[in-house]
Amino acid sequence: MMKSLLLIPVYIIKRWGLYIFTAGVAVFLVLLIHRKIYAHYATEPRYQIDLNHLQAATLPDWVTDKTIEQSIRTALQIDSTGNGSAPLTTNIIDENAFAKILTHYQQCPWVAKVHSIEKRFPNNLKLKLELRQPVVSVEVKRGNGDRVYYLVDKETVRLPGEYRTVPTLPMTLPVIAGVRTQPPPAGIQWADAGLRSALAVADVLEENGIHKLLAIDRIDVSNVNGPVNSGQTERQRSPDLIGSEITIWTKNKVPIQWGRSEYSARLGVGELSPEEKINNLKSVLRVSPKLNGVKYVKVQFHQPYLALESNR
């Protein structure tokens, strides 16, 4: 059987062949023009962007500590030695450079999210970043007895810096004591059961305005998922605290037994909710607003309990 041949009239070939040739020439010209334009932007000085000059125009209102401000501004700068992930100079249309800039800020330990990178001709960039905000300060004891503090955000990410004292910021920054694990590098989540429990307690205290009612010194989590740390003088002085994983210490050295958090591995069925514990604490504060003369308080049971100091 003979195979049929597709015969195309000559006039169709001539007609469409001209169109195809014209289109090919047009594409070639567009590519050539694009290449010339790109070369123009890539080499023309006024379209060059010096990334050394990128800096934070505004910072959040909570950045009032000079050490923290300097830490943030330094972290946001592109590596001036040229060893960073982003180039030091680029041009306004170099998409590869912008991808590296995005990566640089996504890896910055102070940056929670990069919302946008906006080009502004001829040689400006506008970046909108969301910074991580500290919510607690973790106390770590060194072998020589010194204490240092690390800032942590709501996602338990450790923020840059090691501080000899807790930074003074506009918001309350509770001190967390008794964290058993060592701090991770800045920008990495601090995987510690006690710290996670402390953040949950600190959050509910802040939501209910307890810091306005009571001067809180620290939240002790040394007993989370483990035995009581008998080495602490406060616990030795208050043996009734045994059995509570979390203890809230006031400025006047009154311990408040919180019990366990919802993240505890030993959370029992009968454990009160954080809201119930807050209501118990508020009822105690209505009786004794500053807890003066109080030895300790228990809020983890259905009936709150406070013990008075002996006058003998």
pLDDT tens digits, one per residue of 257-293: 999 887 776 666 678 999 999 999 999 999 999 999 9
Specify which residues 220 forms β-bridges with: 177, 247
Q: Are residues 138 and 125 in the same domain?
A: no
* Residue 25 within a domain: no
Where is average pLDDT lowest: 31-35, 118-122, 197-201?
A: 31-35
pLDDT at 151: 98
pLDDT at 302 over 80: yes
Tally of structural domains, the chain: 2
Which residue among 131, 156, 188 closes a domain?
131
Alpha carbon separation from 55 to 49, 63, 65, 132, 290 (Å, rounded): 13, 15, 18, 17, 46
Decide if 216 contacts 250 (C-beta within 8 A).
yes
Q: Are residues 204 and 108 in the same domain?
A: no
Q: Which residue has the higher pLDDT, 54 or 65?
A: 65
Specify which residues 307 forms β-bridges with: 296
- Helix (H) or strand (E) segment spanning residue 256: strand 255-259
Distance of alpha carbon 16 from alpha carbon 310, whole angstroms: 105
- The overall average pLDDT reported for the chain is 82
* Residue 80 within a domain: yes
Which residue among 103, 131, 159 closes a domain?
131
Q: Are residues 283 and 149 in the same domain?
A: yes
Q: Are residues 76 and 141 in the same domain?
A: no
Distance of alpha carbon 34 from alpha carbon 273, whole angstroms: 65
* Residue 27 within a domain: no
pLDDT at 236: 47
Q: Which domain holds residue 210?
A: 134-308
Q: Are residues 119 and 230 in the same domain?
A: no
Q: Are residues 80 and 229 in the same domain?
A: no
